[in-house]
Amino acid sequence: MPNPSSSFWPQWNDQPVFTVLLTLLLAAGVLWLGAEACKAFQESSRVGYGEQMAPSISVSAEGTAVAKNDIATVDIGVTKTAPAASDAQTMAIDAMNALTAAMKDLGIAADDLQTSSYDVYPQYDYEQSPAVIVGYEASQTLTVKIRESELVNTVLGRAGELGATNIGSLHFEADDDTQATNEAREEAIAKARAQAEATAEAMGATLGEVVSYSESMGGSEYPYYRSYLESSDSMVAGAMPDVQMGQSEVQVYVYLNYAIK
């Protein structure tokens, strides 16, 4: 009959070889687990470290190109005053309707005509105290997009003939500047790479691949502004300058980061 106090595991003094092997196995397991934990900790603490600390060069450059303008945009406004607000509104609306019809007669598409502002303000006599309303001013602005260069001078002259009191914010743009943008970008990238190569050479390093790239756009327009506040007589035939659409400058700014070896 087995001894009740006996155990499945032999006593160390009964099986010394088994005890030694078991002890060695347990010690090896503890060491292995410790090594794996240390390795995992080191790997987790270095996530992204290699990429962040990799040597690199950051450069930036600008490229420019020109695009031929083929669209002109101008704001044409009318302002009318009257003792009653409704009368001022009616006068401004009638003048603007006539001006809009004239633009369509010149071949301007309805989609290229936009009412960009409409305002009615009271006029005060500040010499009295308190100030009193003596009339109303109604103004309306039509933004006209002109897609034919030969119509620019005609549109401006016709607007003056019809009593426009403000003609301004004339600016030009290219309908499609894709080619100019591509040319400017190529120039900027070439400049940036040359700069990076020169820097790497000065450092005694070799230029590697592009790590990151970004760009932004710029450009310049050639605005023309003039207000006609005194009378429409200043817009008689021949009074307008010979407006030319000219060119617009397209600018591309590039920002590159190169790896170096």
Read off the pLDDT of residues 142-153 as tens digits, 9 standing for 90 and up: 999 999 988 999
Instruction: Report the pLDDT value the prediction gives residue 228, as an integer from 0 to 100.
Output: 37
pTM (2 d.p.): 0.62
Residue in the structure block whose two tokens are 């700069």 = 195
Query: Mean pLDDT for each 10-residue chunk of the chain (261 residues)?
Result: 53 65 76 76 56 82 95 96 96 96 96 96 92 95 94 92 91 92 97 96 94 87 42 45 83 96 90
Instruction: Report the pLDDT value the prediction gives residue 98, as an integer from 0 to 100.
Output: 96
Instruction: Report the pLDDT value the prediction gives residue 56, as an integer from 0 to 100.
Output: 93
What is the Cα–Cα distance from 227 to 74, expressed in whole angstroms?
12
Instruction: Report the pLDDT value the prediction gives residue 227, as an integer from 0 to 100.
Output: 40
Read off the pLDDT of residues 49-106 as tens digits, 9 standing for 90 and up: 444 568 999 999 999 999 999 999 999 999 999 999 999 999 999 999 999 999 999 9
Instruction: Report the pLDDT value the prediction gives residue 31, as an integer from 0 to 100.
Output: 79
Which of 255, 261, 260, 259 lies closest to 192, judged by CA? 255
Taken in order 229, 233, 236, 241, the sign of the CA dihedral is negative
Instruction: Report the pLDDT value the prediction gives residue 220, as an integer from 0 to 100.
Output: 59
Instruction: Report the pLDDT value the prediction gives residue 34, as an integer from 0 to 100.
Output: 78
